[in-house]
Structure 1
Amino acid sequence: MEFKWRHRLTVWLLYTILMLNGVRSWTGEIHGRVVCDVCADSSIGPEDHVLTGAEVAVLCITKSGEVLNYQAFTNSNGIYTVAETMPESERWDACLARPISSFNSHCTHLGDGSSGVKFGYNHPSGYSYAVRPFVYRPAIAPAYCM
């Protein structure tokens, strides 16, 4: 809870500083979820669970061509978030989100189709983009999955 409060305060302060300098600011957010597909059946069921502490990288190119690299970790709900406030002229143009690692000892193999997601970011300030879930699987599915 404190992280969210601190993050919102930081965004607000940056927004205020930019506005005082006459620069029109823009805020964007990217979020997604990381899940363990326990039975490796490519569907989310009651046996599956979110992964806490999974690492995700988000690479964005701004309208001016600058490359920004973000690192995020999932929270207890398996959700990662990347947010940025910057001048409107420097806003994100396109991004790539990709999973880096799962720190869950039983669920470490990246599932099919989870290598990364490229997307254009053309949302107005204050909106967010939801990336489809990244999926990890165990090396060997438990016997009850068979």
Structure 2
Amino acid sequence: MESKMESKLLAVVVLMAILMAEGVTSWTGEIHGRVVCDVCADSSIGPEDHVLAGAEVAVLCITKSGEVLNYQAFTDSNGIYTVAETMPESERWDACLARPISSFHNHCMHLGDGSTGVKFSYEHPSGYSHAVRPFVYRPVKAPVYCI
């Protein structure tokens, strides 16, 4: 009698054989970026600035077949968000829009100039990633040491 593990393995092997027989090749893409608090609101990243962990970013992509895919990502402790997907090559991303949603940090929650979103074509082959320029939030009022 077959175990459940053997049955699952057999199902995976059969599925892979079907996909390979039909000539379906997979494609993997990745989009990543960083979210930063521009403490002095001087539009440059300096030693007083810091990354924002837990910031929310939305990434919207249109595939080669016209399907719209919407992703939600949160930054890690290094302020980096990542979105990745594996799909058939014929369905791969064509163009994407990344935009900040919220910083969740009371001291730094106003979007900086030019941080409303970034639209780009995704032309990378499978296994490569696209880096989006940093999204910047600013405090309501810059600290005294910035003046």
How many percent identity over aligned positions? 85
Q: How many residues align?
A: 131
SS in structure 2 at match of 1:39: coil
Aligned 1:109-120 pairs, distance under 5 A: 109-120=110-121
C-alpha distance 76-109 of structure 1, shift in aligned 2 (>3 A) = same
Aligned 1:118-129 pairs, distance under 5 A: 118-129=119-130
C-alpha separation between the residues in 1 aligned to 2:56 and 2:27? Answer: 26
8 Å CA contact 1:63, 1:91 repeated in 2: yes
In the alignment, structure 2 segments of 5+ residues that lack a partner are 1-12
Normalising by structure 2, what TM-score? 0.86
C-alpha distance 92-143 of structure 1, shift in aligned 2 (>3 A) = same
CA RMSD of aligned residues (A): 1.4
8 Å CA contact 1:18, 1:24 repeated in 2: no
What is residue 28 of structure 1 aligned with on the other side?
29
What is residue 130 of structure 1 aligned with on the other side?
131
In the alignment, structure 1 segments of 5+ residues that lack a partner are 1-15
Normalising by structure 1, what TM-score? 0.87
Paired AA for residue 65 in structure 2: S
Report Cα offsets for 1:9-36 as digits up to 9, x if no partner: xxxxxxx897542220000000000000
Large movers: runs of 4+ above 6 Å: none
The alpha carbon displacement at 1:105 in A equals 1.1
